[in-house]
């Protein structure tokens, strides 16, 4: 069951993404599992077609061989200034949101408007949105110190936290607008 789910996850991630090419490391990983019973015959045929299409396989004497060399892994290097900027910004966001949570009112300045003032229950949701945003910033900093080959996990976590932050902030805006429109009526 999990092998199938893993295959379909890899299939969506790699085979049909179109935006990203298969890396030689992933191609070699897929190639190594061929003819081991890990994949069904249809899945093996699909992987072979894909790897041949991407020029990772050569057919020699009736046998397929992997042709691309796997480059040595190089960990992410984020400059010190960027790390300090993200960590400082995350700290400021948390401090500002905590101050607003304690006072029961958070003001978000606007570029061409007076901004939005959240008060009441939506303040907790805005605090959660700010917390998710700060975590998304800190994930980038943590990725610098993690030297393992797992950048895709950090990218997924960063995008997920960013989406949660945007969703929570939108929810808080709608909730605050609904509260104010009920009070005006």
Q: Average of pLDDT values for 118-130?
A: 93
User: Tokens in use for 94?
Assistant: 């948390």
Q: Within its chain, how far is the Cα of 106 from the centroid?
A: 28
> What pLDDT, on the 0 to 100 scale, is given for residue 82?
92
Burial class of residue 173, CB neighbours in 10 A (0-12, 13-18, 19+): middle
Q: Is the pLDDT of residue 176 over 60?
A: yes
Would you place residue 162 in the very low, low, confident or very high pLDDT band (cuts 50, 70, 90)?
very high
Q: Average of pLDDT values for 19-43?
A: 64
End-to-end CA distance of the chain: give it in Å, rounded.
55
37: left (phi over 0), alpha (psi -120 to 50) or beta: left
Q: Average of pLDDT values for 101-109?
A: 91
Burial class of residue 185, CB neighbours in 10 A (0-12, 13-18, 19+): exposed
Tell me the per-residue pLDDT of 138-152, one tens digit each, with 9 for 90 and over. Answer: 999 998 888 888 888
User: Tokens in use for 84?
Assistant: 């300090």
Would you place residue 135 in the very low, low, confident or very high pLDDT band (cuts 50, 70, 90)?
very high
CB-based contact 120:104 (threshold 8 Å): yes
How many secondary structure helices (H) and strands (E) does the chain include? 6, 4
Q: Within its chain, how far is the Cα of 169 from the centroid?
A: 19
**Which residues partner with 57 through β-bridges?**
66
């Amino acid at each position: 069951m999990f092998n199938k789910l893993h295959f379909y996850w890899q299939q969506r991630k790699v085979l049909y993404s179109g935006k990203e090419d298969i890396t030689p490391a992933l191609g070699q990983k897929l190639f190594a599992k061929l003819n081991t019973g890990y994949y069904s015959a249809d899945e093996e045929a699909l992987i072979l077609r894909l790897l041949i299409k991407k020029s990772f396989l050569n057919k020699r004497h009736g046998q397929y061989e992997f042709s691309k060399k796997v480059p040595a892994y190089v960990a992410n290097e984020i400059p010190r200034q960027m790390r300090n900027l993200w960590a400082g910004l995350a700290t400021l966001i948390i401090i500002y949101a905590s101050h607003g949570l304690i006072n029961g009112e958070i003001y978000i300045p606007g570029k061409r408007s007076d901004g939005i003032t959240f008060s009441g229950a939506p303040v907790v949701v805005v605090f959660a949105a700010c917390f998710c945003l700060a975590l998304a910033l800190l994930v980038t900093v943590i990725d610098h110190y993690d030297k393992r080959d797992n950048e895709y996990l950090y990218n997924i976590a960063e995008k997920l936290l960013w989406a949660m932050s945007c969703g929570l902030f939108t929810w808080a805006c709608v909730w605050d607008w609904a509260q104010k429109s009920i009070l005006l009526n």
